[in-house]
Chain A
Amino acid sequence: DSGVTQTPKHLITATGQRVTLRCSPRSGDLSVYWYQQSLDQGLQFLIQYYNGEERAKGNILERFSAQQFPDLHSELNLSSLELGDSALYFCASSVGHTGVNTEAFFGQGTRLTVV
């Protein structure tokens, strides 16, 4: 158990809908990262928050947004869902900034299926 909690584990929704994925980082971790794992794109970085502020942005669509709350949990909001958004969404957390002698710990992911 990595200590990173993601809910829900599975989500099935229809095209055009909006969903919210939730992530609770490990105790003490200030950085939260969101990744998308799809069959055609592999694992891709979406966005990072550090202590409530957006820190880095990757290949995140404009239909997607995220935030990190004062208690450090994070939510990823996906709207106007398309079939191609079906993927496994991972949250990760780290104490500091990834790539500076730290590593990220990953949750078990939320599997989103858009029908």
Chain B
Amino acid sequence: AQSVTQLDSHVSVSEGTPVLLRCNYSSSYSPSLFWYVQHPNKGLQLLLKYTSAATLVKGINGFEAEFKKSETSFHLTKPSAHMSDAAEYFCVVSDEPGTYKYIFGTGTRLKVLA
């Protein structure tokens, strides 16, 4: 079965400094991986996705993630945090081929300090 582990439940950064949100996955298959963001009282918005094309994936709002098979990781990064980045971030893996559901990580709450 597939799974994802988000290594930090909370991350605090200062505005203008880099962001790193860590995600490890477990998969018996070549996975599809996603990062979603949830702003307070809002729905889930797709940031980026990996589907076995380029290992470095660029998303919206300056975020990117690198798929590293050898480390089974899919960490999310951004060079410079903005106050508007404060939100909860979810690493997601698609379930096995033939099933059609997402498996969500437990989420990382990003706090951006002025």
Seen from chain A, the residues whose Cβ lies within 8 Å of a Cβ on chain B are: 2, 4, 31, 33, 35, 42-45, 48, 50, 55-56, 58, 90, 92, 97-101, 103-109
CB under 8 Å from chain A, chain B span 54-113: 90, 94-97, 99-104, 106-107
A67 to chain B, nearest CB (A): 17
Q: Which residues of B contact A103 (CB under 8 A)?
A: 34, 46, 49
- Bound-state Cα–Cα, A98 to B90, Å: 16
Contact A99 B43 (CB under 8 A): no
B32 within 8 A of A: yes
Contact B45 A101 (CB under 8 A): no
- Bound-state Cα–Cα, A107 to B44, Å: 7
Contact A106 B100 (CB under 8 A): no
Contact B32 A99 (CB under 8 A): yes
- Bound-state Cα–Cα, A92 to B36, Å: 13
Partner pick for B104 among A43, A100, A107, CB 8 A cutoff: A43
